[in-house]
Amino acid sequence: QSALTQPRSVSGSPGQSVTISCTGTSSDVGGYNYVSWYQQHPGKAPKLMIYDVNKRPSGVPDRFSGSKSGNTASLTISGLQAEDESDYYCCSYGGSYTLVVFGGGTKLTVL
Amino acid sequence: QVQLVESGGGVVQPGRSLRLSCAASGFTLSSFAMNWVRQAPGKGLEWVAVISYDGNNKYYADSVKGRFTISRDNSKKTLDLQMNSLKGEDTAVYYCARRATITSFYFDFWGQGTLVTVSS
């Protein structure tokens, strides 16, 4: 069982918005602003999409945004496009003992 | 451009050892902490280990503690993972990943991964 809880799947139509949640505890998500999100296409390496809760690396479309409330972080993708169909993983700093925890991943389907 | 290229994966029997390597280029390896992250077939990502920029500090996931050893050679621009006493549950694609900054905890560049299969 993964340390962070994500829905196994979400879906949306092109142009719509979807939100993927990532629930942890006060020892990880809720305790630090070190939540990151990764996109992974089948057979490929993960790609950083969001870091430090809501910051976007250069080159990531502004359709991708992140937020956090309490122990739950969220990734929102607006204006869905076919190429957004992928697996998404959240990640958080877990403190000095656990260090890094990932979510179980969410499969996004663009209908 | 930043490149991380893993090697050393393969099929190994339970209880045996394997050593993975990650060759870094396009950036100054000695300025960054480096990690290994793995992904079992059809499963999610699991952080394995981290080593500080100078190699003096190392941390491991409980699942590999005492069996895996992370190391680095900044002069050769390589990161290694020595895996001993391998188990079936260690079967996974192993990625090396760069921790982006010392003031945060995220991975900005990943290698393409190398597959380790533990099977008799």
Residue A33: pLDDT over 60 = yes
User: Under an 8 A CB cutoff, do B47 and A57 touch?
Assistant: no
- Which parts of chain B sit beneath pLDDT 50? none
Q: What is the pLDDT of residues A90-110, one digit of tens each?
A: 999 988 877 899 999 999 999
Residues of chain B positioned with their CB less than 8 A from the CB of A52: 104, 106
Nearest to A72 by CA among A13, A18, A7, A17: A7
* B44 closest CB neighbour out of A48, A92, A102: A102
Residues of chain A positioned with their CB less than 8 A from the CB of B108: 48, 51, 57
pLDDT band at A2 (very low <50, low <70, confident <90, very high): low
Residue A109 is predicted with a pLDDT of 97
Distance between start and end Cα atoms, chain A: 29
Interface membership of B110 toward A (CB under 8 Å): yes
Pairing status of strand A9-12 against strand A106-110: parallel
Give the Cα separation of B74 and B52 in Å (integer): 11
pLDDT band at A9 (very low <50, low <70, confident <90, very high): very high
- The shortest C-alpha distance from A102 to chain B (Å) reads 6
* A99 closest CB neighbour out of B46, B59, B104: B59
| Residue range A9-15: mean pLDDT, rounded | 96
Q: Which two tokens stand for residue B13?
A: 């029997």
Interface membership of B78 toward A (CB under 8 Å): no
Give the Cα separation of B38 and B17 in Å (integer): 17
Q: Who's near B60: CB < 8 A, 6+ residues apart?
A: B48, B49, B68, B70
Interface membership of A105 toward B (CB under 8 Å): yes
The DSSP line for A13-81 is: -TT--EEEEEE--TTTGGG-S-EEEEEE-TTS--EEEEBTTTB--TTS-TTEEEEEETTEEEEEE-S--
Q: What is the pLDDT of residues A35-93, one digit of tens each?
A: 999 999 999 999 999 999 999 999 999 999 999 999 999 999 999 999 999 999 999 99
